[in-house]
Amino acid sequence: MRLHEELSEKVHIAAHLHDIGKIGIPDAILNKEGKLNEREWEVIKRHPQIGADILSKSSHLAKMKDIILYHHERFDGLGYPAGLFGQNIPLGARIIAICDSIDAMTSIRVYRKAYSLEYCYLELEKNLGKMYDPAIGELVLEHWKELIRTIGTKMDSDNP
């Protein structure tokens, strides 16, 4: 994407910390095997705000709080916590949204097996302009073969 080095580093660190707010979510909800009920889903949706609040307490990490806060926003405005859309979502959050989705789809969950890389590709493609920034998504899809080398290695280590 030819990001400025400072922004690239900010996004890199934020990517590692994007779900830090989940420490404020009860394990019973995080590890639930079945579908979340409405109350549980509302609790889960608080993790970006919890994470942003944690980061705001550090002068070094506070500059990443908006990336953390908005990483579940959708390009079409149907995300959370604020319903931001399009370019109103910080660039770092739009990048992490795609990366987080790829990781989620290709990871084993207590309630399902990992999805195939083909399924993941098709889901990303289908949701460009809806869930994901279409320009960033197109770059991801253009470089898919490069990405799956890394993802495939991760999936192999996740599946004993």
Q: How many domains does the chain have?
A: 1
Rounded to the nearest integer, the mean pLDDT of the chain is 93
CATH code for the domain of 18: 1.10.3210.10
Measure the CA–CA gap between 94 and 85, rounded to whole angstroms.
10
pTM over 0.85: yes
Measure the CA–CA gap between 152 and 25, rounded to whole angstroms.
30
How do residues 88-115 score in pLDDT, each as one tens digit?
999 999 999 999 999 999 988 888 899 9
How do residues 70-86 score in pLDDT, each as one tens digit?
999 999 999 999 999 99
Please give the residue range of the domain that contains residue 53: 5-158
Specify the 3-state DSSP secondary structure of 128.
strand
For residue 90, give the nearest of 39, 15, 36 by alpha carbon.
Answer: 15
How do residues 5-23 score in pLDDT, each as one tens digit?
999 999 999 999 999 999 9
Length of the chain: 160
